Amino acid sequence: MKTKSRIYEMGGVITEVNGDFCILRLRLPAGIVTPDLLIAVGKIAQKYNLDNVHLTTRQTLEIPHIKISELETVAEELLANGHDIGAERAEVVNITACPGTDRCKLANIDSLHLAKEIDNRYFRKDMPGKIRIAISACPNACTSETLNEIGITGLRKPIREDGQCTGCGTCVQFCREEALEVRDGSIVMLDDHCLNCGTCIRSCLYGLLQSEATAYKITFGGRRGRHPKVGSTLITVNSEEAALLVIDAIIDWIYRFARLDVPVVSQIGKDLKIEEIKEILKKKIPATSIVAE
pLDDT over threshold 80, residue 7: no
* Range 36-61 average pLDDT: 95
Q: What percent of the chain has pLDDT over 70?
A: 96
Q: What is the pLDDT of residues 96-107, one digit of tens each?
A: 999 999 999 999
* Range 160-189 average pLDDT: 86
Query: Taking a C-beta distance cutoff of 8 angstroms, is the pair 139, 179 a contact?
Result: no
Confidence (pLDDT) at 5: 58
Confidence (pLDDT) at 106: 96
Cβ count within 10 A of residue 279:
11
With 0.75 as the threshold, say if the pTM is over it. yes
Dihedral sign for Cα atoms in the order 162, 166, 171, 173: positive
Query: Taking a C-beta distance cutoff of 8 angstroms, is the pair 87, 44 a contact?
Result: no
pLDDT over threshold 50, residue 4: no
* Range 247-264 average pLDDT: 95
Residue 125 CA to residue 110 CA, distance in Å, equals 24
Cα-based angle 275, 277, 280 (whole degrees, multiple of 5): 110
Dihedral sign for Cα atoms in the order 206, 212, 214, 219: negative
Confidence (pLDDT) at 1: 37
Q: What is the pLDDT of residues 25-34, one digit of tens each?
A: 999 999 999 9
Alpha-carbon Rg for the chain, nearest whole angstrom, is: 22
Average pLDDT score over the chain: 92
